[in-house]
């Protein structure tokens, strides 16, 4: 759940630090106090679009930071799929805006805004006007039915996705294999040439490295010979300046005095060992020089072989092993071309089998969806009736797509008639924004017991409602809050009275600058705020009494739930 929200230098907010609790968290305040900034800041931290001039005037940088506590195993698993591991059960998501550019972080690690949005989907749902609009889209409607019947639908959906992958793979391969007779002959001829070119080279694995080493030695033979001769002369005994002659003279000098001091005798022995090692080295280097030879024919042969290997590398692979693998692939392609008709016949048969499986699994998926759509429709109609759609006629229409997909062949359309005697029409053609918010709240209530999302934010859920409908909306929010942490911004006292934790949002003007603040309210302060929502600017004893009564009735209802 969302434990903490920290905002700094965003719009009207200089700095706010809010701790949220479990259950229903209600935020209220005067119009223009900055209630929308709270939800906007959360959306911003979770990878939302950065609006221009969002940073508070006169400040260099702004920040929105969220602290989530995660204990649910399903959520933890989903986070790990995005390479996020909570630290001590906590996930910290922040976004800093500086000079019009933003930087997103998860647990201190820089992430892209898209990555943050994907992670946010595991932790929190925001239901504002834009999210409500998704309810009008066929894909979203189908997802709702699939989620509602997840216990039965999930496995068959995975089967359809698997069958589609096989079917589309064969279909794609068949498309690639569709060649005219002239194209087949031309391709086969080209393959035969390439295979022959590689075969004629008679390559051995690892040969490229051997030839390169031999070529380097032969190409530098003269330099090697000159250097070896110089080393032999410098370490030998043919010149008075050679190391062997110099050490020999030094040995004679030490030999003459070593009997006078035991330490000198040890130095004599050590220099004798050096002389012996140098003598062995000099004989060895002389043998190496004697074996050196440069054969022009051998050099040219090696050079030509290296050129052949490098030419084939440029065409067929970076190593001899890759070249040989490429040749084997070309042999297989050539064989398929030679057996073109038989290969295509086999692939067509495989495609027919795969399509039959896909049709069967898609049909099974459709059957389950229609079964659960019936249950979904009845439960949704019940929820809608409680939200002042008592006479509405809600329906779900299925149609079959002309093509297959990894999600089956179904498209659905939610339809509704809001008055008796009217024909049902698509949701998008009937409902207003406020009605859509109520419909989404009703549907959300249906998922209250099963949805694994810890935190749900409702923004604009109270648009266009009042009276009994507002009371029913409040009860549904309270029901959802039994299983989830809920944050809701509202101007309706019926909804605010249901708060488990009530926050007041105020705006003050300091030094000619407007500043928004948010503070948790005590019970008495919450009652005063309810009275303001009920009575407006003038709060009387009667409105206070009504506020207390509303709060007590809400407490009793929550206790029953």
Q: Dump pLDDT digits (tens) for 35-56.
A: 778 888 888 888 887 776 677 6
Statement to judge: residues 122 and 218 lie in one domain = no
pLDDT value, residue 346: 86
Say if 525 falls within a structural domain.
Answer: yes
- The CATH number for 55's domain is 3.40.50.300
What is the reported pLDDT for 337? 79
What average pLDDT does the structure give for the chain?
Answer: 85
Within a domain: 124: yes
Mean pLDDT lowest among 60-69, 278-287, 294-303: 294-303
**Is residue 389 a part of any domain in this protein?**
no
Residue after which a domain boundary falls, among 302, 318, 334: 318
Given a contact cutoff of 8 angstroms between Cβ atoms, the answer to whether 79 and 91 are in contact is yes
DSSP string, 284-305: HHHHHHHH----HHHHHHHHHH
Last residue of a domain, one of 269, 297, 318: 318
Task: Assess if residue 84 is contained within a domain.
Answer: yes
Residues 215, 116: one domain?
A: no
Say if residues 116 and 80 touch (Cβ distance below 8 Å).
no
Residue 343 lies in a domain: no
What is the Cα–Cα distance from 9 to 69, expressed in whole angstroms? Answer: 25
Evaluate whether 211 touches 306 at the Cβ level (below 8 Å): yes
Co-location of 117 and 217 in the same domain: no
pLDDT in tens, 102-150: 899 999 999 998 999 889 888 888 776 555 567 788 888 999 999 899 9
Pairing of strands 124-127, 455-459: parallel
pLDDT band at 75; cut points 50, 70, 90: confident
- Whether the pLDDT of residue 436 is over 90: the answer is no
Q: Among 291, 318, 345, which residue terminates a domain?
A: 318
Domain total in the chain:
2
CA-closest candidate to residue 34, choices 66, 18, 10? 10
Q: Decide if 383 is inside a domain.
A: no
Whether 539 is in a domain gets the answer yes
Residue 260 lies in a domain: yes
445 pLDDT more than 70: yes
Q: How far is CA 330 from the centre of its chain?
A: 37
Measured at the alpha carbon of residue 162, what is the angle toward residues 156 and 165, in degrees to the nearest 5?
A: 140
Residues 6+ apart with CB under 8 A from 339: none
Q: Give per-residue pLDDT as tens, 320-352.
A: 999 999 999 999 888 877 777 787 788 899 999
Q: Rounded to 5 degrees, what are φ and ψ at 514?
A: -80, 135
Tell me, rounded to whole angstroms, the distance of Cα 95 from its chain centroid: 17
Per the structure, the complete domain to which residue 89 belongs is given by 2-128+460-560
pTM over 0.85: no
Which residues are CB-neighbours of 186 under 8 A, at least 6 positions away?
none
* Residue, of 532 and 51, whose pLDDT is higher: 532
Highest mean pLDDT: which range of 54-58, 311-315, 389-393, 441-445: 311-315
* Cα–Cα dist 361/365, whole Å: 6
């Amino acid at each position: 759940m969302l434990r903490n929200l920290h905002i700094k230098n965003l719009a009207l907010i200089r700095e706010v630090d809010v701790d949220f609790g479990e259950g229903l968290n209600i935020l209220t305040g005067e119009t223009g106090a900055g209630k929308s900034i709270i939800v906007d800041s959360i959306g911003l931290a979770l990878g939302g679009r950065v609006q221009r001039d969002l940073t508070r005037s006169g400040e260099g940088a702004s920040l929105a930071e969220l602290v989530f506590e995660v204990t649910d195993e399903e959520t933890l698993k989903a986070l790990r799929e995005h390479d996020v591991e909570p630290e001590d059960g906590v996930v910290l998501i922040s976004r800093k805006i500086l000079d019009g550019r933003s930087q997103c972080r998860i647990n201190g690690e820089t992430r892209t805004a898209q990555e943050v949005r994907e992670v946010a989907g595991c932790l929190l749902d925001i239901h504002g006007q834009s999210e409500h609009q998704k309810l009008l889209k066929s894909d979203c409607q189908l997802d709702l039915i699939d989620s509602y019947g997840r216990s039965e639908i999930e496995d068959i959906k995975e089967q359809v996705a698997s069958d589609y992958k096989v079917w589309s793979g064969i279909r794609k391969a068949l498309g690639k294999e569709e060649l005219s007779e002239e194209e087949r002959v031309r391709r086969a001829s080209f393959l035969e040439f390439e295979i022959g070119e590689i075969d004629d080279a008679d390559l051995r694995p690892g040969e490229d490295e051997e030839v390169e080493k031999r070529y380097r030695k032969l190409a530098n033979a003269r330099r090697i010979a000159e250097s070896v001769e110089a080393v032999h002369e410098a370490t030998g005994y043919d010149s008075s300046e050679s190391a062997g002659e110099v050490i020999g003279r030094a040995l004679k000098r030490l030999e003459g005095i070593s009997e006078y001091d035991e330490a000198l005798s040890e130095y004599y022995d050590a220099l004798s060992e050096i002389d012996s090692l140098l003598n062995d080295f000099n004989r060895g280097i002389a043998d190496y020089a004697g074996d050196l030879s440069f054969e022009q024919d051998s050099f040219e042969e090696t050079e030509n072989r290296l050129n052949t290997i490098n030419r084939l590398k440029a065409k067929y692979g970076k190593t001899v092993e890759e070249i040989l693998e490429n040749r084997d692939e070309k042999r297989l392609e050539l064989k398929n071309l030679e057996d073109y008709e038989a290969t295509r016949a086999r692939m067509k048969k495989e495609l027919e089998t795969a399509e039959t499986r896909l049709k069967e699994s898609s049909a099974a998926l459709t059957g389950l969806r229609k079964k659960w759509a019936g249950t979904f429709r009845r439960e949704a109609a019940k929820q809608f009736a409680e939200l002042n759609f008592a006479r509405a006629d809600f329906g779900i229409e299925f149609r079959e797509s002309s093509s297959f997909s990894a999600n089956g062949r179904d498209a659905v359309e939610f339809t509704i008639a809001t008055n008796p005697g009217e024909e049902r029409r698509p949701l998008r053609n009937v409902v207003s924004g406020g009605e859509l918010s109520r419909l989404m709240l009703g549907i959300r209530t249906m998922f209250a017991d099963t949805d694994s999302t810890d935190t749900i934010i409702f923004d604009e859920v109270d648009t266009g409602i009042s009276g009994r409908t507002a009371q029913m909306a409040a009860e549904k929010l309270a029901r959802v809050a039994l299983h989830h942490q809920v944050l809701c911004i509202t101007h309706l006292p019926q909804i605010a009275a249901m708060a488990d934790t009530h926050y007041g949002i105020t705006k003050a003007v300091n030094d000619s600058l407007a500043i928004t603040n948010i503070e948790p309210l005590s019970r008495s302060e919450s009652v005063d705020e309810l009275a303001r929502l009920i009575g407006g600017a003038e709060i009387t004893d009667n409105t206070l009494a009504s506020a207390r009564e509303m709060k007590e009735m809400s407490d009793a209802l929550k206790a029953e739930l």
